[in-house]
């Protein structure tokens, strides 16, 4: 199976900061990488799909990049509502064997 490793595991930042979260796959997954945001007690929400495409309704301060094994999620200017846990997820495997990263908790500094 394909292992997804996120870094850092946790991150403290301030409102207005630019933040980058990294996700590394154990093998090449092309651009089949998605990012989700999860707030406490809530279901995950799709932010970015296919590595760099912004899901409808998601603010443009969120962006994604990368291909192959290394990917990043960037929040250009943190807003109070962005403090949450972020997960990457690969959809490359065939037959499907979907795996998620372990999550990155973004906290208020």
Let me know: does 5 contact 24? Beta carbons within 8 Å.
Answer: yes
Minimum separation from the CB atom of position 41 to other proteins (A): 9
| Contact between 98 and other proteins per CB under 8 A | yes
Identify the residue among 37, 82, 87, 106 touching other proteins (CB under 8 A). 87
Number of residues that bind other proteins (CB under 8 A): 27
C-alpha to C-alpha distance for 70 and 52, rounded to whole angstroms: 12
Is there binding between residue 34 and other proteins (CB under 8 A)? yes
Q: Interface with other proteins includes 42 (CB under 8 A)?
A: yes
Q: Applying CB under 8 A, which of residues 5, 22, 45, 54 lies at the interface with other proteins? A: 45
**What are the residues binding other proteins (CB under 8 A)?**
1, 32, 34, 36, 42-46, 49-50, 53, 55, 87, 89, 91-92, 94-103
């Amino acid at each position: 199976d394909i292992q997804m490793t996120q870094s850092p595991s946790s991150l403290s930042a301030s409102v207005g900061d630019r933040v980058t979260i990294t996700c590394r796959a154990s093998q090449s997954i092309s651009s089949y990488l998605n990012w989700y945001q999860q707030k406490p007690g809530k279901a995950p929400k799709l932010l970015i799909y296919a590595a760099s495409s912004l899901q409808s309704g998601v603010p443009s301060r969120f962006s994604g990049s990368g291909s192959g094994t290394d990917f990043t999620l960037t929040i250009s200017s943190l807003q109070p509502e962005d403090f949450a846990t972020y997960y990457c997820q690969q959809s490359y495997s065939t037959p499907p064997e979907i795996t998620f990263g372990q999550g990155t908790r973004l906290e208020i500094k």
